[in-house]
Chains A and B, each alone.
Chain A
Amino acid sequence: MTDTVFGMTMIVLICALFTAGAVAAVYRIIVGPALLDRVVATDVLIATVMCALGAEMAINHHTHTLPVLLVLAMFAVVGSISAARFLANQDDA
């Protein structure tokens, strides 16, 4: 797949888009004005990591990190739920 110009162009473009999304999420985690902004940005970062792992599997034709995706889909929600549930009243966290 990587031996054609189209394939390499698409792969570089995909890497650039994933990197831009992850950097935007990290920026919002760092400067986010409220705790809930950081929680939402953490969810976006986890979703970006999951999509990037899956993209790497699809491009390289293997399935070695599918259990990682399954565990992330099941348990990545715990952090945001606990933060939103118990820290909702702290405005300047």
Chain B
Amino acid sequence: MTDFADTVTLVLVFFGALMCFAAGVGLLRFPDVLARLHAATKPQIFGLIVICFDIVLSSPGIGTITMAVAIIVFQALTAPVSAHLVSRAAYRSGRFRPESLIRDDLAVRMASGDEASAGAAPGRGDGTGPDDASAGRPTD
């Protein structure tokens, strides 16, 4: 039984390490900030969930389970916030390839001067504005 638990622990840790390695490869190979952000989220959420599940399997107990759940919850709360702000800053500073986007609703809003009110007022920015029909998929 101990050998089986140790084997499962090693395999789960290996998956977490594989996620970290994939993020490193994505950081080296992907061309712009948005693509690198896509690669960076893998160890932040999935790798950490696997590792925390692994810690619970390795040394089970109510304290360990509580701490692992708290770690996963806080990471899942904070990682999308930073990813959203980094991608927003990348879009605003133009550090992305426009040809890599299939649909770009924010450009239409920024061009029409509607972006500030879309961010401030609830009720707008829900995709029902008159300009959204022209921002659909390319028709060629």
Q: Which residues of A contact B (CB under 8 A)?
A: 1, 6-7, 10-11, 13-14, 17-18, 20-25, 27-28, 34, 36-37, 39-41, 43-44, 47-48, 50-52, 54-55, 57-59, 61-63, 66-67, 69-70, 73-74, 76-77, 80-81, 84-85, 87-89, 91
Contact = CB atoms under 8 A, between A and B. Distances in A.
A47 B39 CA distance: 12
Contact of B75 (A14, A66, A73, A87): A73
A50 B27 CA distance: 18
Contacts of A88: 88-89, 92-93
B16 A51 contact: yes
Contact of A21 (B43, B82, B86): B43
Interface of B: 6-7, 9-14, 16-25, 27-28, 33, 36-37, 39-40, 43-44, 47-48, 51-52, 54-55, 57-59, 61, 63-64, 67-68, 70-72, 74-75, 78-79, 81-82, 85-86, 88-90, 92-95
A12 B27 CA distance: 23
B48 A18 contact: no
Contacts, number: 191
Nearest to A77: B78
Contacts of B16: 51, 54-55
Nearest to B79: A77
Contacts of B40: 40-41, 43-44, 47
Contacts of A63: 55, 59, 61, 63-64, 67
A58 to B, nearest CB: 4
Contacts of B11: 10
Given A34-B33, A44-B24, A76-B78, 15 more contacts: A17-B21, A20-B21, A20-B24, A21-B20, A25-B27, A40-B40, A43-B40, A44-B23, A47-B23, A48-B20, A50-B51, A55-B17, A59-B10, A62-B59, A63-B55
Contact of A24 (B24, B57, B92): B24
Nearest to A79: B82
A55 B14 CA distance: 9
